[in-house]
């Protein structure tokens, strides 16, 4: 993504549709994190990625028409048929990855499988789910694993892309803060051979972290998430949110 942006800058481009670029980047990243799979969707079209994007668009479109909430009516429409086709494609892809990973795990055994993964540092989300067990020692079914993976893919790529786009927008509006974030990162990476930022480095980026959190507060990716109180909640100032009260998550955060 950065390489593409640098090329556009060198060509003299003054405008850039960032959200589309960032969405492809987050999808590319999620494919790697979930399945250990390089989709390269930023360089070339991917049938799986196209299906994800189409499903995301169809879900939003369906939510705006009350009659289409009924599955029977929805699947009679052209959009409903496209939805089924895209769903099948996404599920088939995930199922194929799960089957292949199960065969590998079964043939190698858990210990050898973990040693191989430790050497290559490629333990991904599917691997974690395949080895997960409940309190009774029962493994997750293929359907359970597929549901978890699809939830991360659909719930993760669009919200993350939205958050990143708003963060960059807000930093562009405040160049003095953008420069402080840049200096903080450059200071962290000084005298390093690699420019990769590790998990443990995040604690050394306090100002960047504050900017990210403030952008999320101003522009939450999922502002309409609802919650309902199951009991009376007494706030520090003595005010009470009564049992049964319902409000959007964004309103709840602002009220607190």
| The model's pTM | 0.73
Please report whether residue 104 resides in a domain: yes
- Does one domain contain both 216 and 107? no
The answer to whether the Cα torsion of 192, 193, 195, 199 is positive or negative is negative
pLDDT on residue 155:
79
Give domain status of residue 5, yes or no: no
| 169 and 232 both lie in a single domain | no
Q: How many CB atoms lie within 10 A of CB 219?
A: 16
Mark 81-93 as b/e (b = at least 16 C-beta within 10 Å): eebeebeebbeeb
Instruction: Dump pLDDT digits (tens) for 185-232.
Output: 999 999 888 788 888 899 999 999 999 999 999 998 876 667 788 899
- Note whether 127 and 63 are same-domain residues: yes
Q: Is residue 55 in some structural domain? A: yes
Identify whether residues 179 and 137 lie together within a single domain: no
Q: Is residue 8 part of a domain?
A: no
Q: Does residue 137 come out as left (phi exceeding 0), alpha (psi in the -120 to 50 range) or beta?
A: left
- Co-location of 178 and 246 in the same domain: no
- Are both 164 and 215 inside the same structural domain? no
Domain count, the chain: 3
73 and 125 inside one domain: yes
Tell me whether residue 110 is in a domain.
Answer: yes
Residue 42 gets which letter from DSSP?
T
User: Residue 20's closest CA among 225, 162, 180, 135?
Assistant: 162
The span from the CA of 222 to the CA of 2, in Å, is 26
Q: Between 176 and 247, name the one with better pLDDT.
A: 176
111-161 residue pLDDT tens: 777 777 766 666 788 888 888 887 888 888 989 888 888 888 877 888 899
- Name the residue range of residue 248's domain: 226-255
Q: Are residues 85 and 98 in the same domain?
A: yes
In tens, the pLDDT along 5-22 reads 888 888 887 777 888 889
The reply to whether 112 and 19 lie within a common domain is yes
């Amino acid at each position: 993504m950065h390489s593409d942006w640098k090329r556009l800058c060198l060509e003299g481009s003054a405008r850039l549709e960032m959200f589309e670029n960032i969405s492809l980047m987050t999808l590319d990243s999620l494919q790697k994190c979930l399945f250990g799979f390089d989709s390269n969707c930023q360089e070339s079209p991917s049938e799986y990625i196209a299906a994800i994007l189409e499903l995301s668009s169809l879900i939003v479109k369906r939510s705006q028409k009350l009659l289409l909430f009924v599955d029977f009516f929805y699947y009679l429409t052209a959009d409903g048929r496209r939805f089924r086709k895209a769903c099948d494609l996404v599920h088939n892809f995930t199922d194929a990855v799960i089957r292949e990973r199960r065969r590998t795990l079964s043939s190698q055994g858990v210990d050898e499988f973990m040693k191989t993964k430790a050497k290559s540092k490629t333990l991904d989300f599917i691997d974690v789910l395949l080895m997960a067990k409940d309190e009774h020692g029962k493994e997750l079914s293929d359907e359970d694993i597929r549901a978890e993976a699809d939830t991360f893919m659909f719930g993760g790529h669009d919200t993350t892309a939205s958050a990143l786009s708003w963060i960059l927008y807000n930093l562009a509006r405040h160049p003095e803060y953008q420069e402080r974030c840049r200096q903080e990162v450059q200071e962290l990476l000084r005298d390093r051979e690699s420019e990769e930022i590790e998990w443990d480095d995040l604690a050394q980026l306090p100002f960047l972290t504050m900017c990210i959190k403030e952008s999320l507060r101003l522009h939450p990716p999922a502002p309409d998430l609802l919650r309902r109180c199951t009991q009376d909640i007494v706030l520090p100032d003595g005010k009470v949110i009564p049992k049964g009260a319902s409000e959007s998550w964004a309103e709840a955060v602002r009220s607190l």
